Amino acid sequence: MEEVEIKKLVKDVESLYDAGKLDIILNVVESLHPVDLAEVYQHLTTDTREQVFHLLDSDTASAVLVELDQPLQQEILEDIDSGRLTEIVQELESDDMTDLVSQLSSETAHQLLSAMDKEDSDEVRELLLHPEKSAGGIMAKEFVSVDESRTVDEAIAELRSRADEVQDVYYIFVVDDRGILVGFLSLKKLILSPSLARVNTVMNRDVISVKTDRDQEEVAHIVKKYDLVSIPVVDDSGILVGRITIDDVMDVVDEEASEDIHKMAGIGEEARLRESSPFRMSRVRLPWLITGLVGGLFAAVILSHFEQSLSKIIALSFFTPVIMSMGGSIGIQSSTIVVRGLATGEISFIDSYKHLYKEMKVSLINGFICSVILFGVAVIWQDIKLGILLGGSLFLIMNVAALVGALAPLLLRKVQVDPAIATGPFITISNDIVGLIIYFSLSTLILG
Amino acid sequence: MEEVEIKKLVKDVESLYDAGKLDIILNVVESLHPVDLAEVYQHLTTDTREQVFHLLDSDTASAVLVELDQPLQQEILEDIDSGRLTEIVQELESDDMTDLVSQLSSETAHQLLSAMDKEDSDEVRELLLHPEKSAGGIMAKEFVSVDESRTVDEAIAELRSRADEVQDVYYIFVVDDRGILVGFLSLKKLILSPSLARVNTVMNRDVISVKTDRDQEEVAHIVKKYDLVSIPVVDDSGILVGRITIDDVMDVVDEEASEDIHKMAGIGEEARLRESSPFRMSRVRLPWLITGLVGGLFAAVILSHFEQSLSKIIALSFFTPVIMSMGGSIGIQSSTIVVRGLATGEISFIDSYKHLYKEMKVSLINGFICSVILFGVAVIWQDIKLGILLGGSLFLIMNVAALVGALAPLLLRKVQVDPAIATGPFITISNDIVGLIIYFSLSTLILG
């Protein structure tokens, strides 16, 4: 649904609410996809949305609840009576259940868990044990599996018996008598196989799975690489314990891309925007600003050491900004290419030297072109000596900055540190400092 | 498969090749998943990989071919004889076929298309008509659809008859007698429905589809929003013409995130890394470097206008870098938050003012803290007048830069320009210039 339609619906619901026509609101609301309903819901006034949520049956209410941003979820969770909460939460799949429970105060969570069916609460308790960003932390306990000795017909019966509980089924997982994952069957294959065939004669044995402790980013990589729509999760002994569906993988991909983009801009983990107060938001951004400030003061100290040159040749200071910013720009370019290449898998460790070599060629070309331009401008505007100084410094600085930019993420990954921090302000600040030192050292050398 | 395993396999295959044991290579190669085989293939020497490719049956060869990067695909396409090429290409689904054909010289493409089955070549010709980044450009013609008047059993028969041609099936699309999309059936639902039920009594009528001319980024948004694994594509009259599967959507998501990240770093559309020569790579990065150079020279001109102040109070030049870089940093932070928020849909137009307001609060807080620190340092190091100048300028500059950074992407999106360019060097350069002007204007005002 388009933004304009959402906007119109919000208006409609608000005026229906003002006119007290709750029954018409219910009609409107029931005709919407839960995803669209959640979007409308977000933009309603507090009073209206409280009333609207009360109107929903527990099935729709749970579908809307998972789509909402955390602050709005919180609002509902705090507001709702515990009977209804239990009803709504039990409609959810176990991964969404776990996400919700982890947001509650430990007292409310405890209450909710005791009110739930034992099976559901056991699942949630198990899922809560896994780190949030691991395969175990994002998997759901809802999946369909059959023993390998069963027939296709029995697999279909199993699917039927679990149909209400497991929303989206694309594969049926096949396990042996110890519960160890040994294969899978796509539903297409299931439909097309003879009904009396044994599952282990028709299943695909090349099943790709992940262990519970696998990092969510790696899970996303695997799912993308092998074009899966759902991936089974196994424990250390290979026993099937859960599955991760593609929609959750999509969320991971978005989350990780946002994280990288934010790191590039010197923004800490901000999780979601809507949920944060300005104070929390300033706190995640302040560290890099302070680092930048310290770096800038350091630059000031360096400049003050060259006070004599600066006061003799005032034109030196005209070009400080351009010298510094060009090193920053080319450094960001080369580090970004490498960081993103590592993140998407386009650059692998096997061929990282090749890339480094290519980056250096690129910086030699671009450094040369920019230096010649700066040389020309300086000669025309000032004199040839300054031209040589500026052209020479710029060439040197741009190549050093590009090398640092490309090398830093590779080294960071080698020592298991997230390479994305190399694209952040850290590289820019170091390049600033190195640039200044090169520029003023050369100036002493060339201009005396 | 892990990188170390790939590395080991590459070594093994190379030494088997040197020993002339092609039959063992074939065994190794046949045991691999095509995705892993493609990765091994990329790292083989030219001679070896040519031989290995010759060993593969056309089914495996086509699966490997689509996984390779463009330059390696080119190598194969140029090398292979036309009979085998036709065989391999016909194993592909129509979207991959089209991607391959679009890479060939028009002569080779023409030859290939005439050698192919008429049905396949017609499909490719049709797909080539759509813009590369539209729904029509990424869709495949392979899907399973049934007329709404058919029964569940007939739908299964249709699935069976198309099973070889259509690899991954998750939904069966339902059309009316004019071919207009009217609903869909998940395979789960298909399995669980009575075999004699009419399709239109069991299908889901809330089918979400996109038109052929829809931008691929919007398609990805819709698929993510509604948690789909495949989305039908319709023409202007609503007739079903193709489908896009989640794996292609995943590629779009990665591609678009890379594009945004590259734009942030002032890198033009580089498509894929591996395929580019250093000259092509420098060309896509040079424009922003030149822009930065011009911006820096502009800064030099501004500084030269304040030559008198600079020569009188040399300390002014010490702080030019910190003043400029802080404006740049905070501007990038706020523009990045807004650009990424717009890209993921976290910020919608409906609440953009709320975000702008929040961004301003954040910049007031962080600007204040940084200014107080700079004021303190300047007072201790130099004098109170310089402290007031620096603290005042920094506060003003940081808030202006943050406002510009947050506002620019919103305005750009309003006029239908990609907001991501606002995170690029453009904002940094404008902030540099504005910062310098504020700093030196205030210095004339305060220091006389």
What ipTM was assigned to the predicted interfaces of this complex? 0.85
Q: Looking at beta carbons, which residues of chain A come within 8 Å of B295?
A: 322, 325
B419–A contact, CB cutoff 8 A: no
**Predicted TM-score (pTM) of this structure:** 0.85
Listed by number, the residues of chain B in 70-109 with a beta carbon closer than 8 Å to a beta carbon of chain A are none
Handedness of CA A88, A93, A94, A96 (dihedral sign): negative
Residue owning tokens 């509604």? B226
CA distance B292 to chain A (A): 7
The pLDDT of residue B61 is above 70: yes
User: How far apart are the C-alpha atoms of B433 and B300, rounded to whole Å?
Assistant: 10
Chain A, nearest residue to B251 by Cα? A224
DSSP string covering A131-151, please?
A: -TTBHHHH-BS---EEETTSB
Q: CB of B358 within 8 Å of any CB in chain A?
A: yes
Give the full edge-to-edge strand order of the sheet including A181-186.
Answer: A145-147, A171-175, A181-186
111-170 in B: which are within 8 Å (CB) of A?
A: 156, 159-160, 163, 168-170
Radius of gyration over alpha carbons of chain A, in Å? 30
Question: Looking at the predicted structure, is the pLDDT value of residue B234 above 90?
Answer: yes
Q: Return the residue matching tokens 């590629």.
A: B251
Span B127-149, pLDDT tens digits = 999 998 999 999 999 999 999 99
Angle between helices A82-90 and A94-103 (to 10 degrees): 150
Tokens of A407: 């090398």
Average pLDDT of every residue of chain A:
89
Query: Are A346 and B318 a contacting pair at CB < 8 A?
Result: no
Residue A182: both structure tokens together: 């040994």
Cross-chain residue pair A279–B365, CB shorter than 8 Å: yes
Give the pLDDT band (50/70/90) at residue A270.
low
Write out pLDDT tens, residues B274-300.
Answer: 556 888 888 888 988 898 899 889 989
A253 touches chain B (CB under 8 A): yes
Q: What are the pLDDT digits (tens) for B83-100?
A: 888 889 888 999 999 988
Please, how many CA atoms are within 13 Å of residue B180, restricted to the half-sphere of its CB? 8
Q: How many CB atoms lie within 10 A of CB B430?
A: 18
How many residues are given for chain A? 448
Average pLDDT over residues A141-149: 95
Find which of A388-402, B19-33, B335-349 is predicted with most confidence, using mean pLDDT: A388-402
Selecting from B224, B258, B361 the residue whose C-beta is nearest the C-beta of A344 gives B258
Q: Which of A122, A160, A165 is nearest to A143 (CA)?
A: A165
pLDDT of residue B193: 95
Distance (Å, whole) CA B294 – CA A373? 10
Neighbours of A344 (CB within 10 A): 18
State the nearest Cα–Cα gap between B217 and chain A, in angstroms.
13
